[in-house]
Amino acid sequence: LAKTTQPISMDSYEGQEVNITCSHNNIATNDYITWYQQFPSQGPRFIIQGYKTKVTNEVASLFIPADRKSSTLSLPRVSLSDTAVYYCLVGDWTTDSWGKLQFGAGTQVVVTP
Amino acid sequence: EAEVAQSPRYKITEKSQAVAFWCDPISGHATLYWYRQILGQGPELLVQFQDESVVDDSQLPKDRFSAERLKGVDSTLKIQPAELGDSAMYLCASIKGENTEAFFGQGTRLTVV
């Protein structure tokens, strides 16, 4: 499993863009990059997943450079409700590999008015 | 919207007693995970099922923890005897297929006194 490294915490103001970078130097060819969000006393919730280049959905964008050794989750115009812990996961969850869904410590994002 | 159901939501038990948690994944999801999350830390994978088979329980403290998924649908995680250090949130998650998002339940908050 590729080990991931991400900042412990980040602070932001409402309306700003928040970018969280995750390092995964040992990412394997078949690995996908997935981000989850977790609020206190709740289970994690899927945000976005990508393999290469850029992926965008209604809540976030995921930027993955060509070497795939890092990825950046971008949260546009954050609000107070975006205060949460964000986890970067790297793995191959195909049926044949039965990959582990392994979480690290995550990044605590705090949004203030 | 389909959800992963967990019960109970909260459980207080005395040290050395037995305790059990139940999880019903989203229908059709073959892969099921149990996690333990201590306050301030990321979720720690305890056991992973593919249908009724355990594919990874390397992190499960087998002297006191057990998990089963007899018919490949719902699952039970048991602790016997409970210890003070077992106080944590126990999360269940399920995945439908390859490289798709994991859906988490609300968790069971266990307090051992």
Tens digit of pLDDT at every position of chain A (113 positions): 568 999 999 999 999 999 999 999 999 888 889 999 999 989 999 999 999 999 999 999 999 999 999 999 999 999 999 999 999 998 876 655 556 778 888 999 999 99
A40: which 2 tokens? 């206190």
CB within 8 Å: A105 and B41: yes
Q: Which helix (H) or strand (E) holds B20?
A: strand B19-24
Question: What structural domains and CATH numbers belong to chain A?
Answer: 9-112 (2.60.40.10)
| CA A35 to centroid of chain Cα atoms | 3
Reported as a single tens digit per residue, the pLDDT across A87-107 is 999 887 665 555 677 888 899
A76: which 2 tokens? 């546009």
Only one residue has tokens 């080990």, namely: A3
* Spatial contact of B12 and B67, defined as CB atoms under 8 Å apart: no
**Which residue in chain A has the smallest CA separation from B43?**
A103
Q: Does B25 touch chain A (CB under 8 A)?
A: no
Q: Does A95 touch chain B (CB under 8 A)?
A: yes
Q: Does B50 touch chain A (CB under 8 A)?
A: yes
- Specify the range with the lowest mean pLDDT, choosing from A88-92, B38-42, B67-71, B84-88: A88-92
User: Rounded to whole angstroms, how far apart are CA atoms A99 and B100?
Assistant: 12
Report the residue of A30, A45, A101, A108 to disrupt the B interface, i.e. the one with the largest count of B CBs within 10 Å: A101
Query: Which 72-111 residues of chain B touch chain A by CB within 8 A?
Result: 89, 91, 93, 95, 97-107, 109
User: Rounded to whole angstroms, how far apart are CA atoms B29 and B81?
Assistant: 30
Q: How far is CA A30 from CA A51, A95, B45, in A?
A: 9, 12, 21
Reported as a single tens digit per residue, the pLDDT across B22-48 is 999 999 998 999 999 999 999 999 999
**Which residue in chain A has the smallest CA separation from B41?**
A105
Question: What structural domains and CATH numbers belong to chain B?
Answer: 5-112 (2.60.40.10)
